[in-house]
Structure 1
Amino acid sequence: MTLLEKYNEINKRPNGLRLWAIDLHFHTPASKDSAWIEKDAFKILRMIHEAGINCVAITDHFSGNFIDELKNARKTMSGWSEFRGQNLPVILPGVEIEVDGVHLLCIFSEKYGTAEINYFLSRIGIKPGQYGDPEANCTTGLLDIRAAVDEYGGLIIAAHANSNKGLLGIKGKNFADIASIIDIVEINRPNFERDVEGARKYRPELKNKPFIRGSDAHSEEGLKKDRFYIKMQSPSFSSLKQIIFEPFSRFLPSEYETAILGISFSSSTGIFGSQILSFNGAMNTIIGGRGDGKSILMDSIRYALEEYPTLDHLNNLDGGMLSRISGTFKDGDSISVFILHHKEIYACIRGIAIEKARKAYSASTPAKWYKIEAGDFTEIIRPEGLKFTIYSQGEIESLTRELDVIGEICDSYNPEISDIKDRISESLSILDFLFSERLRIRKIDELLPEKKNRNTELAVNIARFEELLGSIDKSIYRKMSRANEEASRMINEIWEVIEQMRRIGGSMIGRLDNVKDSFFEEGSFINTDFEAYFNHVRSTVIRISEIMTFSDIGKFNDTPERKSWKVKLDAEKVVYDNLIRASGMETQESLMPRLIALREDQKKVGIEIESDSAEIGKLEEVEINIRATLSDVISLQSALRDARMSNIEKLNADTPETVYVDYGSDNSELKDWLDETLKSKGITEKGATVSRLASLSPMELLLNITSKNVEEIKKLGVSEANANILIGVIDSMQEQSLHRVNVAFTPSIGLLKGGQKFPTATLSIGEKVSAVFPLLTLNTGRPILLDQPEDDLDHNYIINNITQSIKQNKSRQQFIIVTHNPNIPVLADSDQIIKMKRIEESHTCIVETSGAIEDDSIKSHVMRLDGGMEAIEIRYRRYRS
């Protein structure tokens, strides 16, 4: 089933009480004074239907003659194709009578008709000749009339009480007597609210009677003018009778901003299978036996919405919520919750994926949120401000021992507190940054002397290397070495030329012998001139070759001068090598790169020193900002305290008079922090000193420390020596954490008995829960889900407080409550009661039935919570005996 199909299924399912339009004072053509011209039952019924009336009482004057005709018309019309799938108005038989000048309506169950009305009229002394006579008067006693109505289980309504022949027009005993037998008061237009308020204020006999508006219509126009709504499971007499017990809440439309519309499961093996449950926007009660799946149903909603218990042992340890979910579902199953929030429809879907490490459970799959609109859905992030109040079985009792958690819950009722806490949180983050900056700058300051020393060392080394290079450049060896290299290069060049010429000379002799034939003719020289020139050239070439061959240039290195020079050069090289070794280098060539590297290091260190000096210059500004931010936080904490005090006043006004709330705080974390931080630091009278210091807030204490305000600390009764130690120790901390030490908001809660305050620590478990419960379930507009709140509550408290609180608030916020106590669904008039049942054969839990208390099946299930009808009757007889 798709997401939209699930939502559509939830949307179309009945879910208990809803508002239906009724008219309990309608005249038909059977009345003698009727203005009707047409006496067609079909037309009249169609007219009532088109007027939007779901339930109508036919109340002619002393007559029930037209009732059967309308009922028969309804039966016939319900089979017509145009009305298929529609609910035609339910016809309630009734009659209008006059007693002592006052008109009364007597209304009965829809199963009755004209015959029963006629019998009733005979019981109160009205003869057939008087049927339909608006001038007739009933002379039977009031108690007899009441008894006759009760014989058929009917209702008596004071007709048009604010009009002519209405109850409010009489006074004295006559008024009191009639008021004592009526069930409901009818007020006609035009000033319904004003007249109801006046009647309840000035006629105490009517204070707890339900008031309705009826049309007293004798025409179509009159029928359309007055439409009145009552909460009923369905338009029926049994639902109508419930307004006797609920004279206030059955008339209120629901005006909630947020409500859980329903839940569906996608599981092939889970205990809920693929069920879909719908919830009413007002009060839902989930009942059933143990093991019927009530609590796991609540856990499922809570898991899907990621609204976990505040306390770990109720959440992620063995036996906690995640443990129960893991044992109920399998990985891959999913839970979908559909929610109305600010007129938008959302779906929250979460798959089951729970891991266990030792005894701790964790859910690895987050919920996905969708917005449903125009027949489609879009994935979104969780809507902002969407919150729920959910408490599992036993959770409230556990919370009574966690007053800091209760403090957070109390804070949540005041948006101003949340805003101030957010601003404090922002300031704490700023302090985190500022203290981090201060630590960073202080470390820079600590390292700066080392960098300056390094800079000095570099300068010395650079100067030494520059001096060394200067000495080396001026050394005799450097000059002799360069001269020697130049001379050797010249000799080598000459030697290379000589070698080349010698090779050329030998080559030329061979070439002359090869051209000799050019000088010969027939085996001899051409003439003497040729012979003479040839011999001259050849002898010249031979002489040059001999000169090159026997040259002394190769003996240059063996000359005395050359040997003497080498000795002197080697001696100077020893001096040069000693200079190089003194620099720490191997060769002269490595000296310059080393000097360049030293200069680069010096430049880098110089830049760092300049930058660090600039950063250190910011330290004073950081210190100023720290003190300013601390002052801001102190002001915000003062505003937070004022807001909390104001909130506590409101909480005291909104909770029962027997409950009190006082402002409280717990500085034990600050004491522990100071005790640990100052351990072995030379503090005298350490215990007393810590207690005195803890009288300040962490921010106030830290402001004095960062300001080095010894005098202000001494005002707490701390010695000057201890104050200086304190400032020195905390101010020098590497990682500042004092500003993150929490002083918990722990309101003092308890009960008032005989004008005295009894805090929760002195109360029994039931009394503790009675004191805390109202604080946890104040009306905030968000849905409230409770699992068996009666477990630790006094029986009278449930009757006098819980049920009354629910009735007052359920029109503005949704309740979903698991209970075994029948008083909760009955006295709070649950809009929907869901009966769970376990099917042992398939190990599943199902919704056996659901509806309101007027449903006979639901009524029987609720009575079983109370021991059944027999037990109720036995107790009643014993109480009466």
Structure 2
Amino acid sequence: MFKNGASVLRADFHLHTIKDKEFKYHNNPNEFVKEYVQKLKEADISIGAITNHNKFDKDEFKALRRQAKKENIFLLPGVELSVKEGANGIHTLIIFSDSWYENGENNIEVFLNQVFAGVANRENENVSCNYDINGVISNLEQHNKDYFIIFAHVDQKSGLLYECGGGLIQRLWDNPLLKERVLGVQKSKNIDKFNNLTQWIGYELPKLEGCDPKKIEDIGEGDKCYLKIGDYSFNAVKYALMDFSNRVFYDIPLFKHGYIDSIEYTGGKLDNINVDFSKELNTIIGIRGSGKSSILETLRYGLDLKADIDDDYKESLVKYVLDSGGIIKIKLVDNNNRKYLLTKYLEDDKVYISDVDENQLNISLESIINNPLYFGQKDLSMRAPGYEFNLLSKLIGKKTKEVNEKLKGNSEELKQKIEEIIKIQQYPNRIDELTTRVNDLNMKLAIYEEKGIAEKLDKQKQFEDESLYFEQISGFINDLSDDLESSLESEKIRLLKDKAKYTSKYNGEIFERVNESIENIIKLYGGLSNINQNILAELEKIKSEQNNFVECKDSLKEEFARIKREIDVETLNPDSFLDYSKKVKDTSDELQQYQLKMQEKSALENSLKNLLKDRKELVHERFRLYKKEIEKINDSQEQLSIEIELKGNKQEFMDKLKEVGQGTGIRSNKYKDISEQFSDFIAIIDDIMLNESKKIKTIISGNDYDKFIEKIKGNLKDCIEYEVPDKVDILYHGKNLEYHSLGQRASAIVLFILTQKDNDIIIIDQPEDDLDNKVIYDELIKTLKERKSDIQFIFVTHNANIPVLGDSEKIIVTEFEDDKIMVDSGSIDCSHIQKKIIKIMEGGEDAFEKRNSIYLNWNM
């Protein structure tokens, strides 16, 4: 029932049975117990108090409790006592601990006989006992056994607020025992009367419910109340009523966050151990070296969460605990109550996630658990530069995930465009080189013209040019055919064919016509195959003509050779003429290509301008998201205030500039000027690429400038992807965090973490290490109790205040024995867990009592 710690269960504090004169039952008496318990189960009542009028039937109660236990229902012994107070007496529900009727005794009956001594027909609900409230309490106290009182149907006849005025109630509450023993009022519907009661007695009592049934069919009728308890015991119920602001509800709380249900180990120090977790606050306790952090670190490892500090040690700890072949299985539940199983093998970095039917799912952890956070020892007191910004990114980074993805794509496009522009910037030099080469070749050819050789070789030159022409057009046509062939195999066509199968439940006729058009498009596109075949057919014709041309050329070989022999110019080689002619053509073609590419420069620069503008907008969009989340944090509490400045971490930017410019010899003051004049590398690149470096040249010039530009170009990807961090300041009680002590700093960061609303799970190892008890009590505990219904917390702790005052729903106790880590668990209201808390966290019962006596003495 309580494997995941304290649960919220429906409670009914006013139940009558067949033993009550007012209760009507006409079926087989032998079936009453089963039928009664079945009705409790149907009404979802898990905690009930049997409170017959002025009567307690021990045998019936024991029979009911036995049957109820089979259905996971807990019944408490009680009585509805008519107390001699007011005009009609006051109906008072007294709930007893088991000690009243154990060991063959029935002290409840003894008590009833005492207060009804000499009173006839006491089982009638209108017959009052001999004592007023104070007298009843005095009689109860004589038995030296535990109990608590709930005033029944307080607004009705024989109810406290119906029968008693403010003066009487105030006098009754002068009795400290009444303050201690009265733990609630039942069926309090009149708000004004309830507020008056609160004013008269000086504090608020919980409003409780009970159906007050007169027949089985009445069970579960009327308003409901719920208790959060972690154990089926009188003490657990009493504890819940005493802490009613945290443990009494009028509806079952809805949990809207994903959470870890359990972790199971195979192999190593935790072999065959299964640890279940509450959706709310879980605290892992134990003496030093007992294995507390082992559970936390294996959980972190299983969830594939990064350790920021001491990661080598933590990874070795995981290997030591799991041992070779170790397996972790983590049961997860998402915010829609869907269940999953995450499996992690020690030797395998991959995380395997399956559904409840063990079907493997190709999904990420964050599709189940929203932004889980882990903080190990030392993380909270870290003083590394920029830690505040890194922490902010870690906490609310998911909100900026989409923008970051866009920025990543923008960086890739920027790099590509800048590299293209850099290449084009080299083209003028290449154009000059090619122009000079063409001119040189033309000068050499001019000599052949003067000597008449060009004219004699013109025919051969023409044939050489036309041979190259055939090669070029064949290549172009082949490329065109290949492009068409690739297009026919396009993934988009396959996707389009799939879309053509779409059917609509509500718009069938519309989508039939759409699908018809898609089919027509696919047919038209399929026509490209015929076009390609026709192109290839024409290419074959061209190749046939090429063969004719080659035959004609070959037939002229002797003629060309004779012409060359007839040329009798000692200083000029006819073959060189043909070679120069070919080079002129090739060089001219290359020159033309570069000139055409130069025309693209303007378009590329415009594209770069747009990309830079997009980047600025994305950076500002992300900053606005940070600001929005920071405003929520600042508004959610008073202790912390967070301020953020866009790209404000100039020191880190200057350090990065020095790193990129290493080896240039540029002085530090120049880097400082650059970091102050430019917001980031993108701004520097903008100036270089689009502004002729006018701004950067006012800071560095000459040889320093050339070296710096080369470094930027050589580290282009790194420079584009690097982002100057925003400057984040965390103010704790109005003072910047960096001026606080280590403990105060840790306190602020813990509060910062706990105020988040977008993290399903927060795991922290010993958050109290750098906190003092006053901070834990005044701020940490208060925030924890407010947030644990929205976040699953898993803490390792040595500080008793966290599980006890934080009202931990699940406490996990570890102990190291015989090379194994042993685990015990329960809620804060389990007696055996309470004893372990005292032993482990308070130094044992003797030490606890000794300190308590000292504190009491100090307060005297």
TM-score by length of 1: 0.73
Mapped pair 1:338 → 2:331: yes
Answer whether contact 1:631 1:703 (CA < 8 A) is retained.
no
**What is residue 238 of structure 1 aligned with on the other side?**
235
**1:587-634 deviation line (CA, Å, top 9, x unaligned):** x7xx2xx66665554444333322322222222222222223323333
Distance 1:402 1:254 in 2: 40
TM-align CA RMSD: 4.0
**1:754-812 deviation line (CA, Å, top 9, x unaligned):** xxx32222222111100111112334351121211111111122223222322222223
Distance 2:288 2:169 in 1: 51
**What is residue 109 of structure 1 aligned with on the other side?**
97
Matches within 5 A, 1:656-671: 657-664=638-645, 665-671=648-654
Farther off after superposition, 117-126 or 723-732: 723-732
Answer whether contact 2:438 2:588 (CA < 8 A) is retained.
yes
Mapped pair 1:854 → 2:829: yes
Residue 820 of structure 1: CA displacement? 1.6
Q: Which residue, 669, 673, 691 being the options, matches 1:689?
A: 673
**What is residue 180 of structure 1 aligned with on the other side?**
179
Answer whether contact 1:345 1:371 (CA < 8 A) is retained.
no
Residue 693 of structure 1: CA displacement? 1.1
Change (3 A) 1:573 1:879: closer
Q: Which residue, 835, 852, 855 being the options, matches 2:813?
A: 835
**1:265-313 deviation line (CA, Å, top 9, x unaligned):** 222xx2112322222222222111222211011111111211012x3x4
Helix, strand or coil for the counterpart of 1:133? coil
Matches within 5 A, 1:637-656: 637-655=619-637
Q: 5+ residue gaps in structure 2?
A: 458-561
Q: Which amino acid aligns with 1:378?
A: Q
Q: Which residue, 593, 596, 613 being the options, matches 1:631?
A: 613
Answer whether contact 1:830 1:853 (CA < 8 A) is retained.
yes
Residue 97 of structure 1: CA displacement? 3.5
Farther off after superposition, 172-181 or 154-163: 172-181
Residue 427 of structure 1: CA displacement? 2.8
Residue 410 of structure 1: CA displacement? 5.2
**1:394-422 deviation line (CA, Å, top 9, x unaligned):** 22122x53544544535743765444444
Change (3 A) 1:186 1:142: closer
Distance 2:343 2:564 in 1: 90
Distance 2:634 2:234 in 1: 42
**What is residue 556 of structure 1 aligned with on the other side?**
none
Answer whether contact 2:649 2:724 (CA < 8 A) is retained.
yes
Mapped pair 1:98 → 2:83: yes
Distance 1:121 1:307 in 2: 61
Distance 2:774 2:11 in 1: 36
**What is residue 509 of structure 1 aligned with on the other side?**
none
**What is residue 48 of structure 2 aligned with on the other side?**
56
Residue 441 of structure 1: CA displacement? 2.1
Q: Which residue, 600, 613, 616 being the options, matches 2:595?
A: 613
Q: Which residue, 256, 273, 276 being the options, matches 1:275?
A: 273
Residue 637 of structure 1: CA displacement? 3.1
Farther off after superposition, 639-648 or 727-736: 727-736
Mapped pair 1:767 → 2:758: no
Matches within 5 A, 1:157-176: 157-169=150-162, 172-176=166-170
Q: Which residue, 103, 125, 133 being the options, matches 1:134?
A: 125
Distance 1:823 1:725 in 2: 65
Change (3 A) 1:74 1:274: closer
Residue 729 of structure 1: CA displacement? 8.0
Answer whether contact 1:368 1:379 (CA < 8 A) is retained.
no
Answer whether contact 1:258 1:340 (CA < 8 A) is retained.
yes
Distance 1:434 1:334 in 2: 48
Answer whether contact 1:462 1:598 (CA < 8 A) is retained.
yes
Q: Which amino acid aligns with 1:326?
A: K
Distance 1:457 1:196 in 2: 108
Distance 1:282 1:221 in 2: 36
Distance 1:98 1:121 in 2: 11
Q: Which residue, 782, 787, 801 being the options, matches 2:779?
A: 801
Answer whether contact 2:229 2:240 (CA < 8 A) is retained.
no
Helix, strand or coil for the counterpart of 2:228? strand
**What is residue 377 of structure 1 aligned with on the other side?**
359
Q: 5+ residue gaps in structure 1?
A: 1-11, 354-364, 475-571
Farther off after superposition, 463-472 or 595-604: 463-472
Distance 2:668 2:377 in 1: 50
Residue 107 of structure 1: CA displacement? 0.4
Change (3 A) 1:384 1:466: farther
Answer whether contact 1:146 1:181 (CA < 8 A) is retained.
no
**What is residue 425 of structure 2 aligned with on the other side?**
442
Q: Which amino acid aligns with 2:826?
A: G
**1:827-879 deviation line (CA, Å, top 9, x unaligned):** 12222212111113xx11121x2111232221110111112222222222222
Mapped pair 1:292 → 2:269: no
Answer whether contact 1:785 1:816 (CA < 8 A) is retained.
yes
Distance 2:127 2:76 in 1: 25
**What is residue 545 of structure 2 aligned with on the other side?**
none
Mapped pair 1:388 → 2:336: no
Helix, strand or coil for the counterpart of 2:219? helix
Change (3 A) 1:406 1:33: same
Farther off after superposition, 600-609 or 798-807: 600-609
Distance 2:667 2:805 in 1: 64
Q: Percent identity?
A: 20
Q: Which residue, 749, 759, 766 being the options, matches 1:788?
A: 766
Q: Which amino acid aligns with 1:345?
A: K
Q: Which amino acid aligns with 1:185?
A: G
Answer whether contact 2:116 2:122 (CA < 8 A) is retained.
no
**What is residue 261 of structure 2 aligned with on the other side?**
261
Answer whether contact 2:99 2:145 (CA < 8 A) is retained.
no
Distance 2:603 2:196 in 1: 70
Helix, strand or coil for the counterpart of 1:185? strand
Change (3 A) 1:368 1:879: closer
Residue 339 of structure 1: CA displacement? 1.0
Distance 1:782 1:153 in 2: 40
Distance 1:205 1:700 in 2: 69
Distance 1:786 1:823 in 2: 15
Answer whether contact 1:670 1:741 (CA < 8 A) is retained.
no
Distance 2:753 2:826 in 1: 28
Mapped pair 1:325 → 2:302: no
Residue 160 of structure 1: CA displacement? 2.5
Change (3 A) 1:201 1:109: closer
Distance 1:144 1:406 in 2: 65
Distance 2:196 2:452 in 1: 114
Q: Which has the greater radius of gyration?
A: 1
